[in-house]
Amino acid sequence: MNKLLMFDALREATDEEMQRDQRVFVIGEDVGHYGGSYKVTKDLHAKYGDLRILDTPIAENSFTGMAIGAAMTGLRPIVEGMNMSFLLLAFNQIANNAGMLRYTSGGNFKIPIVIRGPGGVGRQLGAEHSQRLEAYFQAIPGLKIVACSTPYNAKGLLKSAIRDDNPVILFEHVLLYNLQENLPKSDYLLPLDKAEIVRPGADITIITYSRMRHHVVQAVDILVQEGYDPEIIDLISLKPLDINTIGLSIIKTHKVIIVEECMKTGGIGAELIAQINDNFFDQLDLPIIRLSSQDIPTPYNGKLEKATVIHPHQIIESVRMLLNSKV
């Protein structure tokens, strides 16, 4: 086993896939000599050179479009957004090109591209650098979307995404890069369409993803001491949602809480509630509780920023309330 930080796990995945397949290359701002804004490409430029670790100007629409074109010719680009918020400048390329070209070409082109980078509410990074864009991209047909939450799944998901023949967006949380975990030395891949049961339980299903997984785990540690038995599901795949794993849990617990950092209006939780109601409404004993971020731009002020997102004590209170309700 190797003990790696999350950014090192992502770097190792990139390095291994670049060694394995000469068609894989990285493109983005400061990915070369500087080694990436969060060091995910550190030292890779010295190993692979200018043609496979491409530093770009500050022109997200241009280099994302160039990467999509490269994917059409058979290369396998990895686009790093220095911050995922910046990729809003490439929204046209991602939506109208990456998501559509395999369909609009009648299957003549595959688009094996990975778009990855840091996002989420950081620590006083300001509104423009603290966006949660997963719901923006979830609405685009033709994309696969995954959100890593540990060094282990970060590495396995990135390797699978690089090998996939479809466009994949990998969301990494800016506050999780320094998480540390023992990883296998042997090669491994993780599925891009499966949720993870983090903790099996019988009382209630708590569905979460990305950084909120860790807030949920903190809350559940306290709840277990109080005699509760929650089940924790990390979505991992945001598109498509693994509704089968979620459904099996609901059939067992009959109660659901969704914990997300996404905004409440039009967020991942909103889509999740719709799919649960479509498929498992009769299995629910009580309405679903959704704990989401405030529908405002993230404040720069530290105390106000903290107040916009969900914390473990709110999860604990919601579980107590739901499990003590009269059915």
| SS3 state of residue 183 | strand
Instruction: Identify the active-site residue in 45, 129, 173, 215.
Output: 129
The CA-CA-CA angle for residues 81, 86, 91, to 5°, reads 95
Comparing CA positions, the residue from 326, 146, 307 lying closest to residue 236 is 146
Token duo for residue 138: 């979830």
Residue type, 158: L
Pairing of β 168-173 and β 180-183: unpaired
Measured distance CA(197)–CA(219) in Å, rounded: 16
Token duo for residue 309: 């997102």
Measured distance CA(183)–CA(114) in Å, rounded: 22
Measured distance CA(317)–CA(291) in Å, rounded: 11
Pairing of β 196-199 and β 230-234: antiparallel
Active site residue 260: no
Instruction: Identify the active-site residue in 12, 29, 60, 196.
Output: 60
Active site residue 311: no
Comparing CA positions, the residue from 265, 251, 204, 194 lying closest to residue 231 is 204
Pairing of β 76-80 and β 114-119: parallel
For residue 28, the cross-strand partners are: 55, 80
Catalytic residues: 60, 129
